[in-house]
Amino acid sequence: MKPILSEQERQRLDKRVAEVEARTGTQIVLAFVSRSDVYAELPWKAFALGAGLAGLATTLLDLLRPAWSSSHTILLTTTAILASGAACSLLCTTVPGFARIFLDGFRAETEVRQYAESLFLSRQVFATEQRRGVLLLVSLFEHKAVLLPDSGLKERLSPDAQKNVLARLTARIADGNIAAALEQGLIGLEEVMGAGPAGAAGKNELPDSVVEEEGV
């Protein structure tokens, strides 16, 4: 997987994580993944669209020029329909923006959340003394982000507060500026949580470095 963040961006984000942790009394794990699921149905949806449009176009042509119909025309029509479907399917596997046209929003949200929950466990975000860890995951292909707080932060990071944080970085994800998106997430976390309780900013229990994964 080609690195998405430069070394300077990583260092800046690592520093910002440490600063926000100290001010809010939390332990933050920033992460991003290329995609959270394979979405095997997307090429088939693209194939169906391409074949359907080609079939519609050839049918209209036959209606306008019925004299052109022949055995050779039927063969060419069939070839055109299959070729159009195959071209759209290939485009879907190589161009993420085109593939996202066929991606169901609810399914994408579900897959990104499941990936975040798995990462929460594998990175042991729960392994803090006061259960004050929080995971912020950005999934690049889906253009979605998930915020998962541990039980010790549930009150400070209510569902509405989480929405406010995620709203800050969503636009940056679509722009492709992942470093800026993660930084906006940190700013949002600091704003909604405010200063941590006295004595909360203790030892650093989780790594500050940004987690980068290729995903599924």
Average of per-residue pLDDT across 174-203: 82
Q: At residue 122, does pLDDT exceed 90?
A: yes
Measured between alpha carbons, how far is 29 from 42 in angstroms, rounded to an integer? Answer: 31
Mean residue pLDDT across the chain: 89
- What domains are defined for the chain? 7-37+104-215 (3.10.310.50), 41-102 (no CATH)
Q: What is this structure's pTM?
A: 0.87
pLDDT of residue 2: 66
CA dist 4 and 10 (Å) reads 10
What whole-number distance in Å separates Cα of residue 162 and Cα of residue 181?
A: 15
Give the confidence band of 182 by pLDDT, cuts at 50, 70, 90: very high
Percent of the chain having pLDDT more than 70?
92
Task: Report the pLDDT value the prediction gives residue 70, as an integer from 0 to 100.
Answer: 59
User: What is the pLDDT at residue 216?
Assistant: 80
Q: What is the pLDDT of residue 83?
A: 94
